[in-house]
């Protein structure tokens, strides 16, 4: 058996120490080399990113089929952002109507190009409008082509009118006929009902009613009217209907105007106005929806009166806070906006 002396042990320790030192130096050298490599890679990526994408020219794809346009963009390393829109002819369906940026613009590769693509015409055949209300049809057509500067369909004005058992404003005939293909801008010609020629109505009894109640009764009955005001006399209550002609319960022709005389209020609250709004409207071929509203100082919108009206003198009493504005609309289209103070009347 061999025994190790102290000299042997010292020699072995020196060898181990030398080995460990060599390994440690190798590890440190490798770590430094790896760090240098990672730094070089990071700097390379950074400078490539700073340099940015290569520039390219936007091709002219307006008027081309969408598929061909997308292929051209792909070649230029550009990407589409597509927006669909109705156009004037069915032949344009699926083609590019507009592009942004414009052709020839120099942009970076990877840029998005906005394309407006035709989805065809909003309608391809004429609808059957007979039996519908003329005003509803006009609104429908206007809505269909609200975004178009040159609508495909429009209504020829004025339409032809004739008496008919159908309600006033009902479309009786149309040209072109339903089902005709829409190949371009077209004018619709309508024959419209004036209503029954000899229609009769019963006049409601309005005498003694407060003005607000009388206006509601008028709206429900659909009679035509004209209103005048005067101070209350004797024992008359203020702000009421004091007389009417024809009298209540009489049966008259549907186009008869009922003349009403209204007394002014005996007193008003502080800051309150009373007046008679009066405006002469054009004579319409049949009664149209007329509405009088008030815009209050609080920005609240209040309806004063609304009904179908044939035109001519339109007069309605009102009680409103000071600073109110009167708004008159026909077929939901505002035609007048004026300060209520312009129509204020003297009160008792």
Q: Do 229 and 327 belong to one domain?
A: yes
Q: How many other β-carbons are positioned within 10 Å of the β-carbon of residue 223?
A: 21
Residue 277 lies in a domain: yes
Query: DSSP for 98-129?
Result: EEESPTT-EEETT-EEEEEEE---S-SB----
Last residue of a domain, one of 155, 172, 193: 193
* Dihedral in degrees, nearest 10, Cα atoms 24, 29, 33, 38: 40
Cross-strand bridge partners of residue 85: 118
pLDDT at 219: 87
pLDDT score for 53: 56
Query: For residue 261, what are the domain limits?
Result: 200-343
pLDDT at residue 47, rounded to an integer: 63
Least trusted range by pLDDT, from 33-37, 119-123, 312-316? 119-123
Q: Which has the higher per-residue pLDDT, 17 or 307?
A: 307
Stretch 200-205: mean pLDDT: 90
Q: Work out the pLDDT band at 341, boundaries 50, 70, 90.
A: very high
Q: Are residues 249 and 266 in the same domain?
A: yes
CB 184 within 8 A of CB 88: yes
Residues 6+ apart with CB under 8 A from 42: none
Q: What is the mean pLDDT of residues 296-310?
A: 93
Clarify whether residues 274 and 219 are in a common domain.
Answer: yes
Kindly indicate the confidence band of residue 213, based on its pLDDT and cuts at 50, 70 and 90.
very high
Q: Are residues 291 and 165 in the same domain?
A: no
Instruction: Select, from the ranges 46-50, 124-128, 295-299, the one with the highest average predicted confidence (pLDDT).
Output: 295-299
pTM: predicted TM-score of the whole model, two decimal places:
0.57
| pLDDT score of 194 | 85
In a domain, 90, yes or no: yes
220 plus 295 within the same structural domain: yes
Instruction: State the average pLDDT over residues 258-271.
Output: 92
Whether 181 is in a domain gets the answer yes
Residues of the chain with pLDDT > 90, as a percent, come to 47
| Helices and strands (H, E) in the chain, number of each type | 4, 20
Q: What is the mean pLDDT of residues 45-65?
A: 76
For the ranges 19-23, 75-79, 181-185, 274-278, the lowest mean pLDDT is seen at 19-23
The H or E element containing residue 66 is: helix 66-75
* 95/179 same-domain check: no
pLDDT exceeds 90 at position 327: yes
- Is residue 206 domain-shared with residue 311, that is, in the same domain? yes
pLDDT exceeds cutoff 60 at 8: no
Together in a domain, 336 and 237: yes
Q: Is residue 272 part of a domain?
A: yes
Query: Has residue 319 got a pLDDT over 90?
Result: yes
Estimate to the nearest angstrom the gap between the alpha carbon of 342 and the chain centroid: 32
60 within domain boundaries: yes
The pLDDT of residue 20: 63
Of 93, 118, 143, the last residue of a domain is: 118
Mean pLDDT of 215-227: 90
Residues 189 and 207 in one domain: no
Residue 161 pLDDT > 90: no
Query: Would you say residue 89 lies in a domain?
Result: yes
Average pLDDT over residues 170-187: 88
Q: Under a CB-based contact definition with an 8 Å cutoff, are residues 153 and 129 in contact?
A: no
Last residue of a domain, one of 118, 142, 161: 118
How many domains, the chain? 3
Indicate the pLDDT class of residue 49, thresholds 50, 70 and 90.
Answer: low
Distance of CA 64 to the CA centre of its chain: 31
Q: Is 300 left (phi over 0), alpha (psi -120 to 50) or beta?
A: beta
Residues 205 and 188 in one domain: no
Place of tokens 């990071």: 42
Report yes or no on 123 lying in a domain: no
pLDDT tier at 148, thresholds 50, 70, 90: low
Q: Is residue 72 part of a domain?
A: yes
**Is the pLDDT score of 283 beyond 50?**
yes
How high does pLDDT run on average in the chain? 86
Domain with 250 in it: what CATH number?
Answer: 3.30.10.20
171 — pLDDT class (breaks 50, 70, 90): very high
Is the predicted pLDDT of residue 5 greater than 60, yes or no?
A: no
Q: What is the DSSP letter of 342?
A: G
In this prediction, residue 296 has a pLDDT band, given cuts at 50, 70 and 90, of: very high
Check if the beta carbon of residue 224 is closer than 8 Å to that of residue 316: no
Q: In this structure, what are the phi and psi dihedrals at residue 89, rounded to the nearest 5 degrees?
A: -130, 150
Rounded-to-5 percentages of helix, strand, coil across the chain? 25, 35, 40
């Amino acid at each position: 058996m061999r025994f190790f002396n102290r000299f042997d042990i010292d020699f072995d320790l020196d060898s181990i120490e030398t080995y460990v030192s060599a390994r440690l130096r190798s590890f440190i050298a490798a770590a430094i080399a790896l760090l240098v490599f990672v730094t070089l890679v990071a700097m390379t990526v950074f400078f490539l990113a700073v340099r940015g994408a290569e520039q390219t020219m936007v091709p002219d794809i307006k008027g081309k089929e969408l598929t061909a346009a997308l292929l051209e963009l792909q070649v230029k390393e550009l990407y589409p952002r597509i927006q669909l829109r109705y156009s004037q002819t069915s032949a344009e369906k699926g083609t590019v109507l507009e592009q942004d940026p414009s052709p020839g613009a120099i942009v970076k590769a990877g840029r998005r190009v906005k394309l407006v693509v035709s989805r065809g015409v909003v309608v391809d055949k004429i609808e059957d409008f007979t039996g519908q209300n003329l005003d509803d049809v006009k609104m429908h057509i206007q809505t269909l082509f609200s975004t178009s500067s040159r609508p495909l369909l429009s209504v020829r004005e004025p339409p032809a009118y004739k008496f008919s058992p159908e309600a006033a404003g009902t479309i009786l005939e149309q040209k072109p006929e339903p089902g005709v293909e829409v190949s371009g801008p077209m004018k619709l010609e309508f024959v419209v009902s004036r209503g029954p020629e000899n229609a009769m109505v019963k006049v409601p009894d309005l005498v003694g009613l407060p003005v607000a109640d009388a206006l509601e009764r008028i709206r429900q009955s659909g009679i035509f009217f004209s209103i005048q005001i005067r101070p209350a006399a004797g024992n008359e209550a203020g702000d009421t209907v004091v007389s009417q002609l024809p009298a209540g319960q009489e049966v008259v022709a549907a186009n008869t105007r009922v003349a009403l005389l209204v007394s002014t209020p005996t007193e008003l609250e502080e800051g309150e106005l009373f007046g008679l709004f009066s405006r002469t409207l054009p004579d319409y071929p049949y009664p149209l929806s007329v509405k009088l509203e008030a815009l209050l100082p609080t920005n609240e919108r209040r309806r004063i009166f609304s009904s179908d009206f044939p035109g001519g003198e339109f007069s309605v009493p009102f009680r409103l806070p000071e600073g109110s504005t009167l708004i008159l609309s026909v077929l939901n289209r505002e035609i007048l906006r004026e300060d209520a103070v312009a129509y204020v009347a003297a009160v008792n």
